[in-house]
């Protein structure tokens, strides 16, 4: 089996296992690499205008309505899935991001990691 596949290849092989794009987007991304360091980088450029992305130094979010990611990480309702679903849906207070599945998984991995700091 070949593991090095492009994005379309990953999607196709997943599609052959389960049908339905909605199911596909909510499933754990076993074939993808969620990298918290990449997630941090994306968050610093795409989210830091409103959110406090890093746990330290401590301080408020630039936009007081936007929760600090460390606080998001500690909320009982926060799971990898909840972050993924949130970033795939549109929100009045947030811009709609064109993020790929791997980018979303990496952001989720980064945010969840903040709960352990």
Residues contributing to the site for ligand HEC (CB under 6 A): 43, 46-47, 49-51, 63, 65-67, 72, 83, 86-87, 91, 93-95, 97, 107
Buried (b) or exposed (e) across 37-48, using 16+ Cβ within 10 A? Answer: ebbbbbbeebbe
Please, which residue, 8 or 93, has the CB nearer to ligand HEC? 93
Please, which residue, 2 or 92, has the CB nearer to ligand HEC? 92
Please, which residue, 9 or 95, has the CB nearer to ligand HEC? 95
CB of 25 to ligand HEC, least distance (A): 16
Among 111, 104, 93, 116, residue whose Cα is nearest residue 54: 111
CB of 103 to ligand HEC, least distance (A): 8
CB of 23 to ligand HEC, least distance (A): 22
24 exposure class (CB count in 10 Å sphere: 0-12, 13-18, 19+)? middle
CB of 117 to ligand HEC, least distance (A): 17
CA dihedral over 52, 38, 24, 29, signed as positive or negative: negative
Q: Rounded to whole angstroms, how far apart are CA atoms 109 and 46? A: 16
Please, which residue, 16 or 89, has the CB nearer to ligand HEC? 89
């Amino acid at each position: 089996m070949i593991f090095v596949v492009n994005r379309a290849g990953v999607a196709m092989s997943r599609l052959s296992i389960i049908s339905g794009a909605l199911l596909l987007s909510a499933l754990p991304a076993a074939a993808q690499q969620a990298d918290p360091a990449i997630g941090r980088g994306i968050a610093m450029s795409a989210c830091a205008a409103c959110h406090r992305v890093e746990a330290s130094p401590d301080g408020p979010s630039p936009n007081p309505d936007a929760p600090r990611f460390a606080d998001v990480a500690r909320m009982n309702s926060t799971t990898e899935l909840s972050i993924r679903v949130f970033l795939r849906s549109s929100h009045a207070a947030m811009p709609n991001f064109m993020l790929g599945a791997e980018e979303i998984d990496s952001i989720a991995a980064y945010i969840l990691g903040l709960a352990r700091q």
